[in-house]
Amino acid sequence: MSDLYSRLSKDDAAVLLVDHQTGLISGLVRDYGVDEFKNNVLALGDTAKFFDLPVILTTSFENGPNGPLMQELVDLFPDAPKIARPGQINAWDNEDFVKAIEATGKKQLIIAGVVTDVCVAFPALSAIKAGYEVFVVTDASGTFNKQVADAALTRMAHGGAQLMNWFSVACELQRDWRNDVEGFGNLISSHLPGYQNLMGSYRGAQRDFSKQSV
């Protein structure tokens, strides 16, 4: 059964952020509080930035009630492809979106979006059918309520998607604290306040060790 564990690789992963639009977040996301949800989305964004993963942004009907993309994502990824879909509900039905994914050359897709049961589930299942490995970031995806989210996540898992949260994505990409303990610690603690205590303890121990070595 060990062959069922396919690990994320920073060398073969791209991040798809689907419809994290202001209208959709404020109007439809009810399984998370707005502040918590935005923190999770930005944590995933910062993770992508930290590991230098290609990021593709897409929006649906942004000139209508769905609203514009979160400004924080625009600021974080000013050079990322941003596919404004004129009408397609399933982002995979948009030729430019698929071409942008193909241009990355990556075969592992980390996907999150609003809403989970449509804007995430539809392209996730389509990507699996197209031969990609798909990793759905559950806490950076939101929808009407927990029951709807659970049903959507079950559907995607049965379809072959791996379900993760942003923290587990970051840890699996990092592999080993020693790869960059300070940088990785700063990434985690900036979005998980409890980790600030861990980093404070680590830095205190480092200072004590340095004094003893003098």
Q: Average per-residue pLDDT in the chain?
A: 93
Q: What is the pTM of this model?
A: 0.92
Residue range 141-164: average pLDDT? 98
Domain ranges of the chain: 11-175, 176-214
The pLDDT score that the predictor gives to residue 203 is: 58
> 171 catalytic, yes or no?
no
Instruction: Provide DSSP, 25-36.
Output: HHHH--SS-HHH
pLDDT, tens digit, 9 for 90 and up, residues 2-54? 467 899 999 999 999 999 999 999 999 999 999 999 999 999 999 999 999 99
Residue 78 has pLDDT above 90, yes or no: yes
Rounded Cα–Cα distance for residues 106 and 100 (Å): 11
CATH level 3 topology of 11-175: Rossmann fold (3.40.50)
Return the DSSP state at 81. -
Residue 184 has pLDDT above 90, yes or no: yes
Residue range 87-98: average pLDDT? 97
With the C-alpha atoms ordered 176, 180, 185, 190, is the resulting torsion angle positive or negative?
negative
Cα separations (Å) of 99 from 89, 102, 104, 161, 210? 17, 5, 9, 21, 52
* pLDDT level of residue 193 (50, 70, 90 thresholds): confident
Q: For residue 6, count other CB atoms closer than 10 A to its CB.
A: 10
Q: Choose the catalytic residue: 70, 119, 152, 170.
A: 119
- SS3 assignment, position 164: strand
The residue written with tokens 């600021």 in the block is 75
